[in-house]
Amino acid sequence: MSGACFLIAAKRSPIAPRGGALASLNLHELAAPVINALIADANVDHANIDEVIVGNALGAGGNPARLVSLAAGLNESVAGLSIDRQCCSAMDAVLLAKDMITSGRASMVIAGGVESYSQRPQRFQTSKDSQELQAYDQPPFTPWPDRDPDMAQAADKLGEDLRISFNAQNDWAINSHAKALLASAKMQTEIVAMGGIHVDSFTRTLTTRVCDRAARITGNISAANAAVAADGAAFCLLVSQSIADKLSGSRMRIASGATLGSNPELPGLAPLAAINSALAAEGIKTADLVRAEIMEAYAVQAIACLQQSGIDEAICNLGGGALARGHPIGASGAVLLTRLYSELQQTNGFGIAAIAAAGGLGTALLVEAQV
């Protein structure tokens, strides 16, 4: 299989809400332990890593990937590449790593993302008509303010358009936490303990009563059916065919992937085109999938993606999703891939991960497991 790319290890930190157990850790302090555990798990040498690609959406700029690479003890020749595609960043980092390997530019690449929502810098903008600094939280994602919705409001509109009720959204969130609690012991193999925790600290028993009492963000979007802002890191180790053939551990083929733009007013549906593109590249359908990890920035978004794509809910987010963990924006795509890698360990077949981002972006990545 000339030019193939394989995923041979995937690790993540625990995910903790903003201001929680990981709040004191800088980006490189979140990422470096995960990378070192990843390298140890794959039984490869630090010196053989060609590149590190890091997704980060809320940091202060610069090149976080370089900080991460040096903190992890990689060769000084590893320059590090940082990308910001908001929520899609970490999954896009993995797609870039795949392209580097299949093109022959590299043989071993670490890719993923890291985010400290707790330590994100305050942002200000200036105006040519005023000397006063104006604080802002969300940057523009389109040049047209009327087509650049607030994310929670866009999620609520999606629920209205598709008639996904408040109760249905809450039921999804309750189930996400329940699945995460059941899978907690199994997830220990993918989590690198830090900050005094070894589990996702937000996961809890969620009930209908709690959901009904949760503060409303807007419309049917509440604090219970929307993912909390969080800190965390996740990374994957990708290698070429020749490297994979020399290693004895688990390996999975990165079959295909895509990042596509769509209507910026409907960001929740953006993954659909990417999912369809990734499946078409391998000539398969959603019925052929054995596992799926779909981002749960909002419960309504995950429900809509399953309904519109035809992915079976029974194979989706078996260890819970972002509603039960939190949403470390620039890392979330690699968290999904780490979960997918873990879930595919004991089965054959195709698994897919998909995520949406502001501006109407969607990324999907298809993996084939051959146990």
Residues labelled as active-site residues: 87, 327
- Between CA 239 and CA 282 the distance in angstroms is 20
Specify the length of the chain in residues: 371
Dmax over CA atoms of the chain, in Å, equals 63
For tokens 């202060």, the residue is: 60
**What crossing angle do the helices spanning 64-71 and 27-42 adopt, rounded to 10°?**
50
The pair of structure tokens assigned to 356 is 């949406």
Helix axis angle, 299-309 to 151-162, nearest 10°: 50
For residues 319 and 313, what is the distance between their CA atoms, to the nearest angstrom?
A: 13
d(CA 113, CA 156): 28
Distance, in Å, from the CA atom of 299 to the CA atom of 33, rounded to the nearest integer, reads 31
How far is residue 301 CA from its own chain's centroid?
14
At 197 the three-state DSSP class reads strand
